A and B are shown apart, each in its own frame.
Chain A
Amino acid sequence: MKLEAKVDGSAAKFEVNGARLRYERNGQAVEREYSIAALAPGSYSVLIEGRSYSVISVEGAIRVNGRPFAVEIFDPRQMRGRGAGAFGEGRRSIASPMPGKVVRVLVSAGETVEAGQGLVVVEAMKMQNEMKSPKAGKVVEVKAKADATVQAGEVLVVIE
């Protein structure tokens, strides 16, 4: 089975065939015999020619002997043209970088803001974090509500 991957931002090729694997990145390749044991959900032991690797893979985060890797896998058979992002001309969403509670909303829809101006204050674990506007513009939408709980990545304000 042949796959394409992106590892820490670099394109790579990966192939597994029976007990052998082949991995290639930037013109360099390794070809090895491997063995895998699945230990517990998300936990694996991999042996490659007698060298032991402990791997934790939870919700897309992969750690090999403690070292984190960002890995994306593409199956070339299923690859389709990927369109550009949904973000149009200069619209920017400001999202919460952490789960927390909205302490204060500092702007309202229709208001013009400067680059660096505070928009919303989110608090988690006794630490307050002020989300600032990445650019000068107009507040299109305020989704954040004071005292509401927000998840990481949840959009708080949209600036245009």
Chain B
Amino acid sequence: MFRKVLVANRGEIAVRIIRALREFGISSVAVYSDADRASLAVRMADEAAHLGPAPSSESYLRIDKIIDAAKRHGAEAIHPGYGFLSENAEFAEACAAAGIVFIGPPPSAIRRMGSKTAARQVAIAAGAPVVPGTKEPLGEIEEAKRIAGEIGYPVLLKASAGGGGKGMRRVDREADLESALRDARSEALRAFRNDEVYVEKLVLEPRHIEIQVLGDHHGHMIHLGERECSIQRRHQKVIEECPSPVMLAHPELREKMGAAALKIARAAGYANAGTMEFLVDRDRNFYFLEMNTRLQVEHPVTELATSLDLVHWQLRIAAGEPLTIRQEDVQWRGSAIECRIYAEDPANNYLPSPGKITYLEQPSGPGIRLDSGVYQGWTVPLDYDPMLAKMAVWAPSREAAIERMRRALGEYVVEGIRTNIAWFDGILADECFRAGELSTAFLDRFKPPAAEAADLETEAVAVLIASLKEAKTPAPAPAKSSAWLAIGRAEMMR
């Protein structure tokens, strides 16, 4: 096993990895930008190396500086976390060239699975289902009719150069295809100066379900089941769970999707931890979307449900140890849910809310796992992703896990900045969510419940505390000595 490992990341994931290293008796080296000098990861690590100014391009994305820091500190391996350089094949190669172990897949597998179109080809060759469609620009209307007919309606026309919904048309029947194709082309031409349009099957209200795989460098690979990640806002996951409610009702789907994920991973020459993302339609057909060749943000729900530690295994596999778990050893127990805690203001169009955390109380008690990168007094920098922490819970059933999460969110207090902590309760209380009726469109339709009117006594308590500062100004004739006056005065002395 390694004696010293550098963690090439920041925030909660750096803390998560440092914890795993400590559990293995491995020394940890954190890296930091100017904005992160006082970060929790730097405080927790055994050693820390400065990378440069706050912008990622001058710090956490600088391959040369990170390799240099690893050499100076004598680290034998680098864990990239997620984001930043974690899916950068050039970085993995630079590590190898410097004689440092990259804790992740081989660079060739990163390259193969890094591009969506290349990964789609690997999946097709491996016989795994992908969203039916072309990706080749459509020609004449007769050809378009033939292809759309083969795929089956409804279909989606998409601009080859596209993005942002421009040049996109839903077509429900052949009679509408010709005019839709004409509209999509002219819109694409105006938006992108390119009128090429391709067609793919429209997956209606899909679930986003992903499969975790884990393989060693000796040819053994297993899957650790699914994570349901359908609750997304602007393509950003906010709630994840394991098992997926659809797998609870149809356990055979886990076997099918797990087998498909393993076929793709083997075809890619994959090793270490990785994730295959799929769309799943209402009839439980599933389609491969893309692969994430790294540790996933939401890995804790898999760890809670399977009792396996993915970061421990990443370290052991990277050190050359064989994966000693057989597929039949993997068991799923109970239900795990995770909420991503962001520094953002749900009441104000989810605007980011960086700044100083002036007060912090964190949940604890049965079944709670909090992976946090912050502390009271920490200033959340405006230079990076707004995720502060991930709160995960485990309980014997999904219903109990939902109630446990609501309890834990109620214990979580962050002041000084805005967060989405209170926003989750409306989702967790929502009937469709509780029934497991999820899709990536869930949040588009979700309306947060109106806040209940507070009772008079609760309001009185708010005013009682708000008025303490009035007790500081010496009143000319205090009626009677009171706790209110005593506490107000005492606070003035602080």
Contact = CB atoms under 8 A, between A and B. Distances in A.
Interface stretch (A50-58, A82-90, A113-121, A136-144): A50-58
Given A30-B456, A68-B422, 4 more contacts: A18-B481, A21-B464, A98-B352, A127-B352
B385 A67 contact: no
B415 interface: yes
B353 interface: yes
20 contacts: A1-B475, A1-B478, A16-B482, A21-B464, A36-B484, A48-B457, A58-B416, A59-B416, A64-B454, A67-B451, A68-B422, A69-B454, A73-B463, A73-B466, A98-B351, A125-B343, A125-B384, A125-B386, A129-B351, A152-B355
Interface string A95-119: 0011111000000000000000000
Contact of A1 (B348, B410, B479): B479
B491 interface: yes
Interface in B351-384: 351-355, 358-359, 361, 382-384
Interface of A: 1, 3, 5, 7, 12, 14, 16-19, 21, 23, 25, 28-30, 32, 34-36, 38, 41-44, 46, 48, 51, 53, 55-59, 61-69, 71-73, 75, 77, 97-101, 124-127, 129, 149, 152
A34 B480 CA distance: 14
Nearest to A43: B359
B483 A19 contact: yes
B462 interface: yes
A79 B47 CA distance: 57
A35 B483 contact: yes
Interface in B61-113: none
Contacts of B422: 66, 68
Interface in B400-434: 410, 413, 415-416, 422
B463 A41 contact: no
A94 to B, nearest CB: 15
B409 to A, nearest CB: 9
A36 B464 contact: yes
Contact of A124 (B354, B468, B483, B494): B354
Interface of B: 343-344, 348, 351-355, 358-359, 361, 382-386, 410, 413, 415-416, 422, 451, 454, 456-471, 473, 475-476, 478-485, 487, 490-491, 494
Given A3-B467, A41-B494, A55-B461, A63 B456 contact: no
A65 B480 CA distance: 29
A125 B358 CA distance: 19
A7 B384 contact: no
A69 to B, nearest CB: 4
B482 A18 contact: yes
Which of B422, B451, B461, B473 has the most chain A CB within a 10 Å cutoff?
B461
A42 B462 CA distance: 13
Contacts of B384: 125-126
A23 to B, nearest CB: 4
A28 B422 CA distance: 29
A17 to B, nearest CB: 5
A55 B459 CA distance: 11
A25 B456 contact: yes
Shortest 5 CB-CB contacts between residues of A and residues of B: A23-B460, A125-B352, A71-B466, A18-B480, A58-B415
Nearest to B458: A64
A44 B465 contact: yes
A16 B459 contact: no
A85 to B, nearest CB: 22
Contacts of B476: 77
Contacts of A21: 460, 464, 484
Contacts of A35: 483
A62 B467 CA distance: 11
Contact of A5 (B385, B466, B481): B466
A56 B359 contact: yes
Contacts of B480: 17-18
B415 A66 contact: no
Contacts of A44: 465, 487
B462 A55 contact: yes
B461 A53 contact: yes
A38 B487 contact: yes
Contacts of A7: 459, 462-463
